[in-house]
Amino acid sequence: MNFRRFLLVLVPYGWLLALFLVPFLIVLKIALSDTALSIPPYTPTLDLSAGWAGIKDFFGALDFENFVFLTQDDLYWKAYLSSLKIALISTLVTLVVGYPIAYGMARAPQEWRPTLMMLVILPFWTSFLIRVYSWMGILSQEGFLNQFLQWAGLTSEPLIILNTNWAVYIGIVYTYLPFMILPIYATLEKLDVSLLEAAEDLGCSRTEAFWLITAPLSRSGVIAGCFLVFIPAIGEFVIPSILGGSRTLMIGKVLWEEFFSNRDWPVASAVAVILLLILVIPIILFQRNEQRQRELEQ
C-alpha cells in the first residue's frame, strides 16, 4: 500500500522536478552569471573535464551582480509595479464581469448548461494571436467601437484607446475571462440549493442569502479564478506589445527585450527569477494559511 502511494506521489513530483525545478535552477544559474560575447552569451560554464577544481572555479565565479543591478535601475522596479497594478486591476474587473456570468450559468436550466459552457470556451477555438490582433481593428480610431460610440451619440470624435493601458485592460479581461468563469461555475454548480431555500424560509432576502451563503461557499472558485487570471496577466507580453504600444510598461516586455534585443541573458534571468518569487511566495503563504484553517476546523 505504501509503495502504491509512493508511485502516486512520484508522478506529480517528477513532473514538477522535470518541468519546474530543473528549468528554474538553470535560469537561476544564468542569473548569477556574467554577460559574455560567446555562445551561450554568459560565463561561467561548467566544465566537468577539469574535475573538482573546475567545479570549484565554476561556483566561485557566480555572483549576485545582476540582482544588484536591478535594484539600481528604476526601469525594472517600475515595470514590476506597473505589471502588478495592471494584473490586479484586470483580475478585479474579470471577477466583476465573470462572477455574474458563472452565476447565471449555474442557475440556468440543466439542458442549457452545456451550450453555455461551449459559448464560454468557444474563443479558444481561434488562435490567441488572431483574437488579440482583432482588437486592434475594434479599438482603433476608425474601428468598430469608435464608430458605434459616434453613431450612438456618446462621443463627438474618435477616442484614442489603442496603444494605451485601457486597451491592455480590455485585451487581458477578454482573453482571460473564461479562466475566471469556469472555476466559479464549477463551484456554484455544486452548491446545494436547499441551503438558499432554508435561508429564505428563516427570513433572509435573496440578496442576504447570496451574501451569507452563496458568496462564502463560492470562495474557493473565486480564489482559483483569480490565481488563473493574475499569474499569467502579470507576465503578459503579447497583449501589451500589440495593444499597449511602446508606452505600456510591463515586466514581460522588459524580459523579452533583455533576452532578444539586448541579448543580456543574465539580467533577463534575474528579472525572471524575481518575477517567479513574486508569484510563488504569496501562493505558498496562502496554501499554508488554508491548511491551518482546515486543521482548526477539524
Give strand pairing partners of 42.
35
What is the C-alpha separation between 227 and 176, in angstroms, rounded?
11
Task: Please enumerate in sequence order all residues whose Cβ is within 8 A of that of 236, keeping only pairs 6 or more positions apart, or say none.
Answer: 87, 172, 250, 252
pLDDT value at residue 297: 67
Residue among 185, 193, 141 nearest 167 (CA): 141
The residue ranges of every structural domain in the chain are 69-297
* Class of CATH domain 69-297: mainly alpha
Choose between 280 and 91: higher pLDDT: 91
pLDDT value at residue 181: 95
User: What pLDDT digit, counting tens, does each position of 232-252 carry?
Assistant: 999 999 999 999 877 789 999
Q: Are 169 and 93 in contact (CB under 8 A)?
A: yes
Task: Please enumerate in sequence order all residues whose Cβ is within 8 A of that of 31, keeping only pairs 6 or more positions apart, or say none.
Answer: 66, 67, 266, 269, 270, 272, 273
User: What pLDDT digit, counting tens, does each position of 121-136 carry?
Assistant: 988 888 888 999 999 9
What is the C-alpha separation between 293 and 273, in angstroms, rounded?
30
User: What pLDDT digit, counting tens, does each position of 68-81 carry?
Assistant: 999 998 999 999 99
pLDDT value at residue 142: 87
pLDDT value at residue 61: 87
**What percent of the chain clears pLDDT 70, i.e. is strictly above it?**
98
**What percent of the chain clears pLDDT 90, i.e. is strictly above it?**
41
For 150, the grid coordinates are: 459616434
